[in-house]
Amino acid sequence: MKRKIYFEMKSLAEARDIFFNCLDYSSLLGDEDLSTTEALGRVLSGPVFARFSSPNFHAAAMDGIAVWAENTFGASIERPKRLAIGQDAFWINTGHPLPPRTNAVIMVENLNPLDEERLEIQASAYPWQNVRKLGEDMVATELLLPQGHRINAYDLGALIAGGIFKVAVKKQPKVILIPTGSELLDWPDLQDKPLPAGKVPEFNTRVLSGLVQECGGRPERRGIVTDQPEKIQAALAEAAASDCQLVILNAGSSSGSEDYTFSAVQALGRVLVHGVTIMPGKPTILGVVRGKPVIGNPGYPVSATISFEQFARPILFQMQGLVAPERKQLAVFPARSFPSKLGQEEFLRVNLGLVGERVIANPLPRGAGTITSLTRADGIIRIPANAEGLNQNEPVLAELLRDQQVISQTVVIVGSHDNTLDLLGNFLTRRFPRFRLTSSNVGSTGGLLALKRGIAHLAGSHLLDPETGEYNTTYIQRLLPDLPVKGLNLVFRQQGLILPQGNPKGIKGLEDLTRPDLTLINRQAGSGTRILLDFRLQELGIDPSKIRGYEDEEFTHMAVAVNVLSGRADVGMGIFAAAKALDLDFIPVVQERYDLVIPEKYWEEEKIQALLAVIRSDEYKEAVRAMGGYELTQTGEVLF
């Protein structure tokens, strides 16, 4: 009988490169709308912004009484104060809205009831004590989750709290699994029956179905196809013509006489790879039929699983706009030396144990048909194709199967807050799915100090030197004298006064801030906005101590805006985009430059270059312009 010989064996790297680049996998999936409660584990096809603020009212954080804090001032043990229930004090439970004309809650354990109408307090309350302020958790219009984010259980709560009851998600990639082999029986046919000689329970596609689901896919297992070429070819043709995104034929690939998968793929489409230099998994076939990727998996269970993980798993994540999570790696010492076959990359399953200060690796059975070597394995050691084995005296890396998978591809921004950073994070994830952005709002000075300590990739800064009129460079020279950095302009933005809609108190400018009927909400010391405000007040000869609320600080522009929206403050200093987001009024004060300060040692990193590519893209700039209050003539330019 004529035997099928492998075309030309490919290394794992070569085979992956060929298969991953033969199609545009990111375009194979459409979108669908789901109820939020049904969206667990699904991937967002667009960014999600809050419709509601949470909480959307000032809420009691404790059981007790709601009071107007100023009415309690002066209370002490020596001079307790008496309050009238229903007049000066109102009973309230945790989570309930504060009654009108109250701004603090005194805990029930700190009360001394006198009778049903009066109680006594021995300490004063301060404004907003034991109160969850409006928007404390999230603010309407705030980005909740970026495009490409996989929804988890915590996200469900945030989405519903934010008024998002339906989300647009990527459809799940549909994978058709076709088991082949005349020796196979389905498990329903074996219930309460002995296993006939020469027959095998078909379980590979059950394992693969589970792996598909773990990758976010939707498996569809077809019935067993016997070893007849015309039937295998017909099954493949029908599957490729369906609405699936991937076809896996299991147990029909080998170098022997019954390599029917090769013939079927070759007859209906293209064979891209016939044999990969990995062990187990060498007989893997990769191809394309009717624009659908096709994988011919070996029949041995370990081979089938390793083939799936190396080829199917990555493209299933790629279809959803995700990158397959990498397993955590740990340095381990082989319990003994292990020989391995030159020319093939081996996936060695091992048990791991901590012995003294070293993690020791003991090998499990190496046969491709031993499914228990996977169920029992704690890790996998990959022996390179150019190595003859492992030396017991040399540590090697093991991919852990028992630990949570970890990916560390996050760009960390620390410093001044700006609304464009939310957009930047979303666009970065959309264009480069394996990268993420997180930002911490500590003010411009805090951002530069974070760079000095080596805890951030870049800092957002808009520090004005009043003497030179220059932004950022003076502060960098003073705070980072020994750290070479580059400065990239992100935006020019309008800073000014954020006011309630309609400007009910007729505020005209900074000169009005000392009015006794006005309450300011300020930014924290060290922030560029605070430094700018102080500089302007000094120019005008205004004493900050004369401004009511000057010491009341927030850490973001949106926090300032929501304080104005809620009525907690009459005015705050911030950017136009924050005012526009909450439909508030705005009085411009100055246009300022907002830069990203990046240490040179990070400049060439791939994730930083990806970030720069997004900043310089027309798509990102158009989205920023739509926010209002930004000027982008120098966006993406290196200014220092």
| CB of 49 closer than 8 Å to CB of 102 | no
Q: What is the pLDDT of residue 1?
A: 36
CATH superfamily of 332-400: MoeA, C-terminal, domain IV (2.40.340.10)
Where residue 186 falls among pLDDT bands split at 50, 70, 90?
confident
Domain 59-132 sits in CATH at 2.170.190.11
Of residues 330 and 420, more confidently modeled: 420
Residue 113 has pLDDT above 80, yes or no: yes
Is residue 167 within 8 Å of 212, Cβ to Cβ? Answer: no
Token pair in block for residue 485: 């950095």
- pLDDT tens digits, one per residue of 324-357: 998 889 888 887 778 888 888 899 988 777 656 7
pTM flag (> 0.75): no
3-state DSSP call for residue 350? Answer: strand
CA distance 334 to 361: 5
Task: Give the DSSP letter string of 473-541.
Answer: HHHHHHH-TTS-EEEEEEEEEEEEEEE-TT-TT---SGGGGG-TT--EEEEPTTSHHHHHHHHHHHHHT
The conformation of residue 311, written as its DSSP 8-state character, comes to I
Furthest-apart CA pair in the chain: how many Å?
106
Please state which of the four CATH numbers 3.90.105.10, 3.30.499.10, 3.40.50.720, 3.40.50.300 is assigned to the domain occupying 31-54+137-170.
Answer: 3.90.105.10
* Rg of the chain (C-alpha set): 32
- Spell out the long-range contacts of 197-205 with Cβ–Cβ below 8 A and sequence spacing 24 or more: 203/301, 203/371, 204/179, 204/250, 204/251, 204/297, 204/299, 204/301, 204/304, 205/177, 205/178, 205/179, 205/248, 205/250
- Specify the pairing of strand 379-383 against strand 285-289: unpaired
Give the CA count within 13 Å in the CB-facing half-sphere of 13: 3
31-54+137-170 and 59-132: identical CATH topology? no
Q: For 18-64, how does the pLDDT look when each residue is reduced to its tens digit (9 = 90+)?
A: 999 999 998 899 999 999 999 999 999 999 999 999 999 999 999 99
Instruction: Read off the pLDDT band of 596 (50, 70, 90).
Output: very high
Q: Which residue has the tokens 């920023």?
A: 624
- Number of Cβ within 10 Å of residue 463's Cβ equals 28
pLDDT band with cut points at 50, 70 and 90 for residue 178? very high
49-52, Cβ contacts within 8 angstroms, sequence gap of 24 or more = 49/141, 49/142, 49/143, 49/144, 49/162, 50/138, 50/139, 50/140, 50/141, 50/142, 50/144, 50/162, 50/163, 50/164, 51/140, 51/162, 51/163, 51/164, 52/138, 52/140, 52/161, 52/162, 52/163
596 to 402, 422, 445, 640: CA distances (angstroms): 40, 14, 13, 11
Strand, helix or coil for residue 378: coil
Spatial neighbors of 348 by CB under 8 A, at least 6 apart, are 338, 340, 363, 366, 380, 381, 382, 383, 390
Q: 2: which 2 tokens?
A: 């004529």
Provide DSSP, 31-84. Answer: EEEEEGGG-TT-BBSS-EE-SS-BSSS-EESSSEEEE-GGGGTT--SSS-EEEE
What is the C-alpha to C-alpha distance for residues 402 and 374, in angstroms, rounded to an integer? 11
pLDDT exceeds 50 at position 407: no
CA dist., res. 279 & res. 344, Å (int): 6
Q: Can you tell me the distance from the alpha carbon of 104 to that of 72, in angstroms, rounded to the nearest whole number?
A: 10
Topology given in CATH for the domain delimited by 410-631:
D-Maltodextrin-Binding Protein; domain 2 (3.40.190)
What is the CATH architecture of 12-27+172-319? 3-Layer(aba) Sandwich (3.40)
Which parts of 395-465 are beta strand (E)?
396-400, 410-415, 436-441, 458-461
Bond from prior residue into 298 cis (ω within 30 degrees of 0): no
Task: With beta carbons less than 8 A apart as the criterion, state whether 495 and 592 touch.
Answer: yes
Q: Determine the Cα–Cα distance for residues 593 and 19; give it in Å rounded to an integer.
A: 46
User: What is the average per-residue pLDDT within 171-185?
Assistant: 92
Q: 301-319, pLDDT tens digit by residue? A: 889 999 999 999 999 999 9
Mean pLDDT of the chain: 90
Q: Give CA angle at 162 (156, 166), nearest 5°.
A: 60
| Selected residue with higher pLDDT from 5 and 212 | 212
Closest CA to 259 of 223, 295, 298, 225: 298
Distance between CA 203 and CA 179 in Å, rounded? 9
DSSP secondary structure letters along 127-168 = TTTTEE-TTSSB-TT-EEE-TTPBP-HHHHHHHHHTT--EEE
Q: For 137-151, what is the mean pLDDT?
A: 94
pLDDT beyond 50 at 590: yes
The one-letter amino acid at 598:
I
Band (211; pLDDT cuts 50, 70, 90): very high
Q: Measured between alpha carbons, how far is 371 from 374 in angstroms, rounded to an integer? A: 6
- The predicted-structure confidence for 550-574, as pLDDT tens digits, reads as follows 999 998 888 999 999 999 999 999 9
| Closest C-alpha among 280, 285, 273, 180 to residue 226 | 180
Q: Where are the domains of the chain?
A: 12-27+172-319, 31-54+137-170, 59-132, 332-400, 410-631
Check if the beta carbon of residue 298 is closer than 8 Å to that of residue 357. no
- Residue 406: which pLDDT band, with cuts at 50, 70 and 90? very low
